[in-house]
Amino acid sequence: MLTLENLSKLFGGVRAVDDVSLTIREGEIFGLIGPNGSGKSTTINLITGLYTPTTGKVTLDGHDLTAMAQHERTSMGVARTFQNIRLFGNLTVAQNLWVAQNGHEQRRAHFLARWFKAGGEHGPDIEELLRFSQLHSKRDLQANALSFGEMRRLEMARALASNPRVLLLDEPAAGASQEDAQLLAERIRAVRDRGVTVLLIEHMMELVMGITDRIAVLNFGRKIAEGSPAEVQMNEDVRAAYLGGSHKNEELVHA
């Protein structure tokens, strides 16, 4: 459903993404892994339209997204979360979801005026998302009063508020405890069970190996392997790429 065809991105002389082709199938949890600096975030940024590829194209169900602006890709069904949480800290939990659903092209001031005009009412989708994200009891709290885990849940809920077909998760377990990572795994499966295809970028190997259907591995911008978690973990090129990197990268070999 989501296809990358010969995608490349150059930053000056750096080939951040180098001729990557991938097909992510409907309904799967697909992992994109690789040592630090291997091009994972750049790939997400090419899919969401934050960057324009130097060459290649991105399609969703046969529709070419490559020339579309970010908000157009959102309406086509592409949503993402960020490595660093980006919420409106001074807005409430419910308001953050409301913005995601109604206001991505509006200035915040306009959004607040409309929110108050509507008497703070929000539709059934937001109610459902609040429950799905176990944030219902926090709906009227300001986002910056949430715990770290709750902020992460709100960020995912916010991405889901645009009703995506594919959700791109950029290191959702960063900074999470083992226990949080366990909950996150359940949450990602629950997102898939809602009918949303998931592309997961993550360094926490236990999480990636435990929940993905298939994985692609990048190294220096190039795809060096693709397959089931077991196949990827056994792959000699992958093991060499990880052992050649930082200590953190050795996680794969010991997972």
Ligand X SMILES: Nc1ncnc2c1ncn2[C@@H]1O[C@H](COP(=O)(O)OP(=O)(O)OP(=O)(O)O)[C@@H](O)[C@H]1O
Q: With CB under 6 A as the contact rule, which of the stretches 19-27, 35-43, 151-159, 205-213 interacts with ligand X?
A: 35-43
Residue 193, token pair as written in the block:
């069970």
Number of residues binding to ligand X, judged by CB under 6 A: 11
Q: Which of 2, 7, 16, 60 contacts ligand X by CB under 6 A? A: 16
Residues between 39 and 78 with contacts to ligand X, criterion CB under 6 A:
39-42
In eight-state DSSP terms, residue 213 is: S
Between 165 and 239, name the residue whose CB sits nearer to ligand X: 239
- Residue 252 one-letter amino acid: L
Q: Does 224 bind ligand X (CB under 6 A)?
A: no
Taking Cα atoms as reference points, which of 245, 147, 164 lies closest to residue 205? 245
CA distance 249 to 204: 10
Decide: 46 and 58 in contact? Cβ < 8 Å.
Answer: yes
Structure-token match 């992460």, residue found: 152
Closest approach, Cβ 34 to ligand X, in A, equals: 5
Closest approach, Cβ 108 to ligand X, in A, equals: 26
Closest approach, Cβ 201 to ligand X, in A, equals: 7
Between 14 and 141, name the residue whose CB sits nearer to ligand X: 14
Q: With CB under 6 A as the contact rule, which of the stretches 37-45, 60-68, 105-113, 235-243 interacts with ligand X?
A: 37-45
Residue 165, token pair as written in the block:
């077909």
Q: Which of 37, 56, 227, 245 contacts ligand X by CB under 6 A? A: 37
CA distance 164 to 168: 10
Chain mean position to CA 235:
25
Q: Does 21 bind ligand X (CB under 6 A)?
A: no
Decide: 44 and 168 in contact? Cβ < 8 Å.
Answer: yes
For the chain, the C-alpha Rg in angstroms (whole number) is 18
What's the CA angle centered on 210, arms 20 and 157, to 5 degrees? Answer: 80
Between 38 and 81, name the residue whose CB sits nearer to ligand X: 38
Closest approach, Cβ 106 to ligand X, in A, equals: 28
Q: Which of 3, 24, 34, 60 contacts ligand X by CB under 6 A? A: 34
Closest approach, Cβ 78 to ligand X, in A, equals: 18
Q: C-alpha distances in angstroms, 78 versus 47, 109, 164?
A: 8, 26, 5
Q: With CB under 6 A as the contact rule, which of the stretches 29-37, 141-149, 183-191, 224-232 interacts with ligand X?
A: 29-37
- List contacts with ligand X (CB under 6 A): 11, 14, 16, 34, 36-42
